[in-house]
Structure 1
């Protein structure tokens, strides 16, 4: 919100400086983002009147002017050569006298006016355009001043160029401050200076004409006011004072009627619309749009509406986008003679977000979606009517009566403030009288009880709904700077992690120790990754993606790591080890809504890693070889140590069917490991397949608590067995069978050799392999005898036969 200080002080003029005013506004929650002068620095420029103007004898585009400048032209009018096309007798313009300094140019240095000659004719000064004074970008000619401008007066004083422009950064709850009068009302409450609100005198109707209006959607429009004004002069010129104030609010002047509508919007915060009455066909209907209807807007865009967008229509089609922008079909022009002025109350929820559907925003939509005072539509119609008659009026101008339809206005329930509660929240002693004074200064109606005040929010305050809103009002009017400085007192209770769980950073350190670099990726990814790498054909879609490809939420980390690999390979990296701890999202109807969850969506943390390229960095001590499944399998075992990890063959959409497995710990499936599927290696243009793993982070964080045990008093015994096993039987099945010892003497089973003959021999057939295992036997309570050892080994061999193994001869 930008506005000039002079306009604000016309409503409320506290006896404080500009800097103090900015500080008062900021400390009250209306952050002053910037203050800057209305015009750049210049001096020596006065109001001059051209009393003579004749053609230059040697230049077609130059005129020799005689300019009266009051006390600055004691010896008669000054002779000035000027090339402006509008230099003519009788106009008053800015005159830079000899010695004047114009605003600095691109080099930052001011331009000094001296006596000069143009085509042999002396020039004692310079007549200026608005652009040369850097008041606007208009350079079509001299800046023409009103006929009553006093000749010889300093232009800065006359145009109030020492005014200051304020730019406020308002939060969405401060809709009542989106006007100069609204800000003045706040300044009055903050400083105690009286608020000057000029009375708006009704315009007496001189005809009975009314435009029929049917409000068919009370949930769109709560109040609709309008009137007909006939015989207006739309070719009139917007007065300089209005142009100046609009320009200092950042608004470019357009035409008198549009400028009047914008002026009242900045003055009182009321967006309105002025229709060309002759272009309206029949009656107006205020309703929701219908699927497929089209409307050409004032900005030239043609949009298609639906039943979620409010419109104003006539008997032939749409005329306006309700509360946002008017239509081109009924726009006023220089040929307009009769107008219909409309001011309405649009429900904020019926306007919010509609303009963003069509990729634009307007001042009207910005205000209506935050809430505009519904009580003053008629008064603002009267204010607009006054200005139209004053600026565009003719002897024939007449107004019709104001047609005001009230369908339903916001019901403002009283809000109770407990004085003791306010004192506790604010952190300083408060009396009921102080709170009552704050509400009185803000213009809030209230009643009092014992220790409480019941406040009825006024029509212009849409931000007061609960007790905390009133507490905020009390705090900011009393002044945040007046609150006592007290250090917060609170018990410090450190969160102690249970010993059976390690933190996420401990997992990161473990991955770094294994040679993996951590990477951080977006949680939204390409839909292709979800369908190809995770088999997820119904991913969770992002409603407003930051980029078109990043349109869905990821249900796995694998796609992100593959993309990181591609990024590194494109930069000639030959060995890549990356890992990520991140959250994934998937649909789960069993998840309810809470402060940490969204209904129907399960979000879990996972850890994943990717290895690509040589198993070891280039070195002389070991032959180079590509990383394989077993290398990453070892990394996973190290990450989960000291727990025992099982790997069972499994299939996964992203992984090679014969080179992937489920990771099982304590009987629980916690993730997958494997080589990237050849189809996706080729599809993602990778020279060789990386090996990946993805695990549930909660399972990785779990760790057993060490339990002290006495050292065994007896030595263990070991026995080695060579067992022949068919290729179709997994080695894990054999190891599980050997460990399943009912006597409890088998302490450990270790596979230490695998032999596969190239051809059938005497004791092994084709399709068989020999597995050499070592059994460690121990009885903590007694020394093992040969008989007990032999019996235990024989029992182990029998269990091995149960899974298809036999003792090798």
Structure 2
């Protein structure tokens, strides 16, 4: 929101230097983005960065209200009356879309001179607000919008029919707008039409056929209240952004329409001459918003503020903000909110308003009372520690939008159960992500295009799906791309599946996972023969492996890379530590190497080996997997290292020999294995 300092101080007569005004506005929550001193003019241009909920401050009047309330000043009163007219409007207005447009005010002005020049102050204020002058009638309407916050539109009275209708567009209805673009509307778009065709895309932009030009001598001016939900997102969907849509999307005061028309009509009469009809309004009061009534508990207020505020001071604040106290009973106030403050709905909103006017810097400082309470580790801290661990393994964290392009999900065949956004940031971010993979792939491709050949990245965040209900799930995903041999001058080996498995095992060990098992992965993102699913107590908690070739193809990348994903909430294992006495007896180790024909899963070998090794087994490792031309026809060689240790005695060779014999016989019976010498 841009405006001139002189324009604001015309509303609130006071002396205040620019730097103090900047500080005061920022203190009130109207953050000053920039200040520019205008050349050849003794004036200053302010640019405010307003939050979406403060639609009332998209006008100089709204900003003036805030400044006046904080400075204990009064807003200068203006002439809000219109001399009575005996002329009835020639046009008849009907509202078919009553819920979308509960109120529509209009007036007709005849025999005006649209070639006259307007005074410089209007031109200067429009240019300061970033609005280009067009012609006197349109400029006056834009000036009133900048001044009061009510967008209006003028139609050339000689170019429109006699029956105006506010309705929803027909499916695939066409309209050519003022910017000369043609749009095909849908049945969710609101339009202003006459008997023949649509005249304007309501709340967004007028049509070119009924537009006002310098030759125009009679106009029909509308000033309407459109429900924000109906206008919101429409401009963006059609790649349009206007000052009108920006205000209607955030909300316009539903009691402002006639006031804006009166001001615009008086200015047109003053500077362009002409006569006007009576001001008419068509409204459906049952569909208009209601002024909120909010109960305020004074004890609650004082507890929230941290100090006691006197009722007299409170009433002073409420008067300044145009809040009305409807009742006052035993520390309970009922407050009626003005129509322009549609952002206030609950008691906490009132507490914030009072704190804002009091000034956060003026709230007394109170020393905190410390406590020796022990707090349990929160999910947030657990996730933070998890991310720190992964970062310490050489991964870099990336953060992507939760909004993604629909095509990126379709390319990966994960577009089912997606959630479509009603009001996307832009046309390329129209759905919620169902996986973290698209964002990681985008980051990978972006870095590869800049010459990177080694990447280890991860992301932790929410994914969203919708079947019978909306479901949010926290996921942890990572990606490893290595075409630079692990970025290590001493290594000639690229990152492999076994490196990834070691990372997964180490991660789960760090998290104190106990009952974890691996099995062949069914994850559609991963190569079916080079991937594993991770299960905890039989429940799937994650997957890892080489990326599936179809994904390489879909993103146009020939080189292989690796991917893992875990359900974050399933990684919060409880630390069930057990303390046991260390054995004072020595351990015994034996290495056994088996040649096993055919293809056998290591998991099956591991299970049998542990079962046959007995209760004194403390460690089992596969230290070699070997294939050569000598044994290729026989199968593969698996070399195991067994470690036994008893807590009660020294194990003798004869004890171990019996166990080893059992293992050899078991492997021979189960896998037809032979012991290598």
Q: Secondary structure at the match of 2:605?
A: helix
Cα distance between partner residues in 2 of 1:426 and 1:732: 62
Cα distance between partner residues in 1 of 2:525 and 2:233: 40
- Find the counterpart in structure 2 of residue 103 from structure 1: none
Residues 371-404 of structure 1: CA distance to partner in whole angstroms, max 9, x if unpaired?
A: 33333533443333333332222xxx44332222
Q: Does the aligned pair in 1 maintain the 2:110–2:276 contact within 8 Å?
A: yes
Cα distance between partner residues in 2 of 1:550 and 1:335: 43
Q: Does the aligned pair in 1 maintain the 2:595–2:634 contact within 8 Å?
A: no
Shift of 1:497: 4.4
1:347 aligns with 2:227: yes
Change (3 A) 1:376 1:724: closer
The one of 582, 585, 597 aligned to 2:463: 585
Change (3 A) 1:441 1:290: same
1:12 aligns with 2:12: yes
The one of 410, 428, 433 aligned to 2:289: 410
Residues 248-284 of structure 1: CA distance to partner in whole angstroms, max 9, x if unpaired?
A: 5554433222233223333433332222211112300
Shift of 1:750: 5.2
- Find the counterpart in structure 1 of residue 400 from structure 2: 522
Change (3 A) 1:528 1:729: farther
The one of 189, 194, 198 aligned to 2:78: 198
Q: Does the aligned pair in 1 maintain the 2:455–2:479 contact within 8 Å?
A: no
- Find the counterpart in structure 2 of residue 446 from structure 1: 325
The equivalences for 1:714-725 within 5 A come to: 714-715=585-586, 723=594, 725=596
Cα distance between partner residues in 1 of 2:189 and 2:351: 36
Change (3 A) 1:477 1:650: closer
The one of 649, 653, 670 aligned to 1:803: 670
Q: Does the aligned pair in 2 maintain the 1:610–1:693 contact within 8 Å?
A: no
Change (3 A) 1:657 1:529: farther
Q: Does the aligned pair in 2 maintain the 1:236–1:391 contact within 8 Å?
A: yes
Shift of 1:317: 0.5
Q: Which has the higher helix share?
A: 2
TM-score (norm 2): 0.82
- Find the counterpart in structure 2 of residue 399 from structure 1: 276
- Find the counterpart in structure 1 of residue 180 from structure 2: 300
Q: Secondary structure at the match of 1:236?
A: coil
The one of 222, 225, 233 aligned to 2:105: 225
1:291 aligns with 2:171: yes
Residues 571-627 of structure 1: CA distance to partner in whole angstroms, max 9, x if unpaired?
A: 374xx462525346364759x7xxxxxx224332245545555479444xx8x4555
Shift of 1:632: 4.4
Cα distance between partner residues in 2 of 1:550 and 1:287: 27
Residues 318-360 of structure 1: CA distance to partner in whole angstroms, max 9, x if unpaired?
A: 1122233322222222332332232222233333332222223
Cα distance between partner residues in 1 of 2:157 and 2:78: 30
Change (3 A) 1:478 1:497: closer
Q: Secondary structure at the match of 1:274?
A: strand
Change (3 A) 1:15 1:302: same
Shift of 1:644: 9.3
Q: Does the aligned pair in 2 maintain the 1:210–1:227 contact within 8 Å?
A: no
Shift of 1:482: 3.6
The one of 577, 590, 605 aligned to 2:476: 605
1:460 aligns with 2:340: yes
Cα distance between partner residues in 2 of 1:558 and 1:478: 48
Cα distance between partner residues in 2 of 1:251 and 1:629: 60
Residues 209-238 of structure 1: CA distance to partner in whole angstroms, max 9, x if unpaired?
A: 431111112212222222333222223332
Change (3 A) 1:768 1:274: closer
Change (3 A) 1:733 1:298: closer
Change (3 A) 1:389 1:268: same
1:214 aligns with 2:94: yes
- Find the counterpart in structure 1 of residue 301 from structure 2: 422
Instruction: Report the RMSD for the aligned CA atoms in angstroms.
Output: 4.3
Q: Does the aligned pair in 2 maintain the 1:203–1:382 contact within 8 Å?
A: no
Cα distance between partner residues in 1 of 2:456 and 2:335: 60
What is the aligned length?
A: 665
- Find the counterpart in structure 2 of residue 314 from structure 1: 194
The equivalences for 1:46-65 within 5 A come to: none
1:781 aligns with 2:648: yes
Higher-Rg structure is: 1
Shift of 1:174: 3.7
Cα distance between partner residues in 1 of 2:449 and 2:158: 68
Residues 82-122 of structure 1: CA distance to partner in whole angstroms, max 9, x if unpaired?
A: xxxxxxxxxxxxxxxxxxxxxxxxxxxxxxxxxxxxxxxxx
1:371 aligns with 2:251: yes
Change (3 A) 1:347 1:728: closer
Cα distance between partner residues in 1 of 2:177 and 2:282: 26
